[in-house]
Structure 1
Amino acid sequence: MDINVILTSVTDIIVAFGLKIIGAIIFWFVGRWLIGLAIKMISAAFRSSNLEETLLIYLKSTLGVLLNVILVVAILGFFGIETTSFAAFLAAAGIAIGAAWSGLLAHFAAGAFLVIFRPYKVGDFITAGGITGTVREIGLFVTSIDTLENVRNVVGNNVLFSDTIQNFSTNPYRRVDLVAQLNHDVNHKHAIALLKEKVSAIPNVMAEPAPDVEILEFTPMGPVLAVRPYCNNDHYWQVYFDTNKVIRETCVEANFSAPEQHLVVHRTAA
């Protein structure tokens, strides 16, 4: 066999394969750009129809995965690989992976239930799965939560769905729980009246329901007052810290004596 013919054939094969590689790369980048454009257009359409942000993010994630799988199958078809066989292989692999990674499917199913039943949505402040923070994204398998320290936590959907979920954003307001320790010689009625007046004047404290200031318990130092204003969840920490300041300032301005333990010692004759 003529070596020149062999070299020519090999060169033709390499050139053809190289052209296909270049074509596949172009196909990939163009496809990715088109997928991004399609998702943006669909998102804009959904937003104009006032679709909830939580459902929108979930649909975007699902659509992105689906379109990328279609793109990969199309590129394989471009190389001449039988896509029906690949689809069968993918289905079989999916069953095998699903059996081995049942936990991953549980997270996927939990994500769907979270979107359907909506125990929380994007932007809500929750406690679930041992994490307290603001929900930033509900994905196919995980939920992203930013804690008060501004740390991003990525938690499996099934961990959250199978746990007790406290949603602080659902109700229109919440209560701030603080205490004020009084000395025995302080007139508790006077202290309660002063604190109610001062706490009610704190910005963003609700007039209805009015702040609660009552005796909570007794200690060796004196009575302990429960100081409980109500506010919107967005203003919780501002009201929390301002109420602490008001408790301190009110007691100082009223010249209440500092709390101290009172002990009575009985001495018996020998």
Structure 2
Amino acid sequence: MDASWVSDLNHIVLQNLVPFGTRLLGAIALWIVGGWVIKMVKAMSRRGMAARGLDATLIEYLESTIGVMLRVLLVIAVLSLFGIETASFAALIAAAGVAIGMAWSGLLANFAAGIFLILLRPIRVGDFIQAAGITGTVKEIGMFASVLDQPDNVRTFVANNKLFSDNIINYSSNPFRRVDLVAQLAHSVDPKAAIALLKARVAQIPNVEISPAPDVEILEFNPAGTKLVVRPYCHTEHYWQVYFDTNQAIVDVSGQAGWPIPAPHQVLRQHP
């Protein structure tokens, strides 16, 4: 009986476990090789699209789509090694896709919004934008969400549908933008002389546009004196550098000219 039991065990191992182990090893090898091939195909497709001068945003989107499609085909190939009918599996994927599509309509909306972002191109990779309550540089436009790096170096993922349905402010579309600052003058300071000094000084700041020239005009009159608006123009990349340098220029000009510190003036009249 013992010999018969050992013989039956050997028969079970040879008939079931050995073929299953062989398929398992083949599936692991196929998964590893397939993953390497997918990486190679994505790299080659990226180089090919870049050589044809396609937009960086479109390249990222197409590369991501190619990777997902190839990964699905790889999963089907791996399952076929275990005897699973690929036709049945494809039908199962289709049925699951319908069910998931009905349950996760938001994801489909994000996918559609991503396509519109690619085709209409209101934003591109590298643009500095403000949308969906987030301000930052676009790093990636994915299939369902886009990646933005905020000025404080915080990475934020925004759903494409939320991004596309909101107002998009693209600071990188035009060659320059305006920096808005003010300079408060005391009552004793001549506004015309102050305007001339500030215009000359702000024009010397690095990265300030020559045309249009910086604007320095009277904004309002208040209890402290005359308030001037100081508006240089620069490229988005140099915005904060020009912003802080303009503030420093206002301080330097006021100090060199000896302007008094502005303070509200009040006149009190006493009636008998």
Given the two structures, how large is their TM-score scaled by the length of structure 1? Answer: 0.98
What corresponds to 1:130 in structure 2? 133
What corresponds to 1:200 in structure 2? 203
Q: Give the root-mean-square deviation of aligned CA atoms.
A: 1.0
What corresponds to 2:19 in structure 1? 16
SS of residue matched to 1:261: coil
1:218 paired with 2:225, answer: no
What corresponds to 1:100 in structure 2? 103
SS of residue matched to 2:129: strand
Alignment: residue pair count: 269
CA distance in 2, matches of 1:141, 1:10: 48
What corresponds to 2:260 in structure 1? 257
1:7 paired with 2:9, answer: yes
1:173 paired with 2:169, answer: no
1:239 paired with 2:246, answer: no
What corresponds to 1:53 in structure 2? 56
What corresponds to 1:81 in structure 2? 84
Aligned partner letter, 2:13: T
Aligned partner letter, 1:129: A
Q: Point out where structure 2 has 5 or more consecutive residues left out of the alignment.
A: none
CA distance in 2, matches of 1:218, 1:86: 76
SS of residue matched to 1:224: strand
Aligned partner letter, 1:149: D
Question: After the TM superposition, which residues 25-36 of structure 1 pair with which residues of structure 2 at under 5 Å, given as runs?
Answer: 25-36=28-39
* 1:143-201 deviation digits (Å, cap 9, x = unpaired): 00000000000010001000000000000100000000111110000000000000011
Moved over 6 A (4+): none
Q: Once the 2 structures are TM-superposed, how far is the Cα of residue 19 of structure 1 from its aligned partner?
A: 1.4
CA distance in 1, matches of 2:21, 2:213: 76
1:69 paired with 2:72, answer: yes
Q: Point out where structure 1 has 5 or more consecutive residues left out of the alignment.
A: none
* 1:44-81 deviation digits (Å, cap 9, x = unpaired): 11111111100000001101100000000111111110
SS of residue matched to 2:263: coil
CA distance in 2, matches of 1:9, 1:236: 77
Aligned-residue sequence identity (percent) comes to 55
Out of 102, 109, 113, the position equivalent to 2:112 is: 109
Given the two structures, how large is their TM-score scaled by the length of structure 2? Answer: 0.97
Aligned partner letter, 2:84: I
CA distance in 2, matches of 1:10, 1:245: 85
What corresponds to 1:149 in structure 2? 152
